[in-house]
């Protein structure tokens, strides 16, 4: 029978990772993607930068745009302080179904709220549906042409406070030129580039960390 890449990735987690051990889940996925099949997870190299930002911000509320198989979700959720909450959005139901199982394998289902649907539909409903006033940290890693409109939507909806951090993946490869131009030139942001490589390759890519100044 045919299987999909996300299903094979889940299989690698179930075979090689220990239930309840997020690090082993991350490792099993990285090993699968380096040795078997490339996949669009933030990956181990940029993942270390993601980890350090999460640890530094120590957020109580996190929004992730683009869950895919839950790799970055597991990285982020495993570093959150007690009672912190991560909302992650994914509009592909097949990916969401895999991510739920990956997150559960890591033992992190209590920290993560996986919401199925499009970012543009859900961002305006965050306060009403989930009681979130503002996000301390937002990880942008969905389709690249959505970074800028969704950032402007989060601003309009009052979901960013002075000091909220936006961390954007793939700002070089595939690239998000309109978003980069916006956060780098707007007086409402203080922005910094972290140079790295596209997941599981030697191609340049990086993360852009932007502080919302209010």
Chain contacts with ligand SAM (rule: CB under 6 A): 40-42, 66, 68, 71-72, 89-92, 95, 118-119, 141-143, 146
Residues catalogued as catalytic: 141, 144, 169-170, 199
Interacting partner of 68 out of Mg ion, ligand SAM, none (Cβ under 5 to 8 A depending on kind): ligand SAM
User: How many alpha carbons fall within 13 Å on the CB side of residue 204?
Assistant: 4
Residue closer to Mg ion (CB basis): 184 or 197: 197
d(C-alpha 86, C-alpha 60), whole Å: 8
Interacting partner of 95 out of ligand SAM, Mg ion, none (Cβ under 5 to 8 A depending on kind): ligand SAM
Burial 23-33 (b: 16+ CB within 10 A, else e): ebbbbbbbebb
Interacting partner of 32 out of ligand SAM, Mg ion, none (Cβ under 5 to 8 A depending on kind): none
Residue closer to ligand SAM (CB basis): 42 or 165: 42
d(C-alpha 194, C-alpha 212), whole Å: 17
Nearest-approach distance from CB 96 to ligand SAM, in angstroms: 8
Q: Report helix angle 93-105 to 22-35, nearest 10.
A: 130
Whether the Cβ atoms of residue 71 and residue 41 lie closer than 8 Å to each other: yes
Alpha helices in the chain (DSSP H): 5-16, 22-35, 43-57, 71-77, 93-105, 119-122, 126-130, 147-156, 177-185
Name the residues that contact Mg ion, by CB under 5 A.
141, 169-170
Nearest-approach distance from CB 46 to ligand SAM, in angstroms: 8
Nearest-approach distance from CB 41 to ligand SAM, in angstroms: 4
Residue closer to ligand SAM (CB basis): 40 or 207: 40
d(C-alpha 205, C-alpha 198), whole Å: 5
Q: Which residue is nearest to ligand SAM (CB)?
A: 66
Q: Select from 92, 154, 102 the least CA-distant residue to 127.
A: 154
Nearest-approach distance from CB 24 to Mg ion, in angstroms: 22
Residue closer to ligand SAM (CB basis): 118 or 213: 118
Residue closer to ligand SAM (CB basis): 40 or 183: 40
d(C-alpha 143, C-alpha 46), whole Å: 18
Nearest-approach distance from CB 73 to ligand SAM, in angstroms: 7
């Amino acid at each position: 029978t045919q299987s999909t890449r996300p299903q094979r990735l889940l299989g690698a987690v179930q075979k090689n990772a220990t239930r309840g051990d997020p690090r082993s889940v991350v490792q099993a996925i990285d090993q699968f993607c380096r040795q078997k099949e490339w996949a669009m997870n933030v990956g181990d190299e940029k993942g270390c930068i993601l980890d350090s930002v999460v640890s530094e911000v120590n957020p109580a509320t996190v929004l992730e745009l683009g869950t895919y198989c839950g790799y970055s979700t597991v990285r982020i959720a495993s570093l959150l302080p007690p009672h912190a909450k991560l909302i992650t959005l994914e509009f592909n139901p097949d990916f969401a179904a895999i991510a739920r199982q990956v997150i559960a394998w890591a033992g992190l289902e209590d920290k993560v709220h996986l919401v199925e649907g499009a970012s543009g539909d859900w961002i305006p409903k965050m306060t009403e549906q989930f009681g979130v006033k503002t996000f301390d940290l937002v990880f942008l890693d969905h389709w690249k042409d959505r970074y800028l409109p969704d950032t402007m939507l989060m601003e309009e909806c009052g979901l960013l406070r002075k000091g909220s951090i936006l961390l954007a993946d793939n700002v070089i490869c595939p690239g998000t030129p309109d978003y980069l131009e916006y956060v780098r030139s707007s007086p409402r942001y203080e922005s910094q580039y972290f140079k790295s490589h596209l997941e599981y390759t030697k191609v340049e890519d990086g993360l852009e960390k932007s502080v919302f100044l209010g």
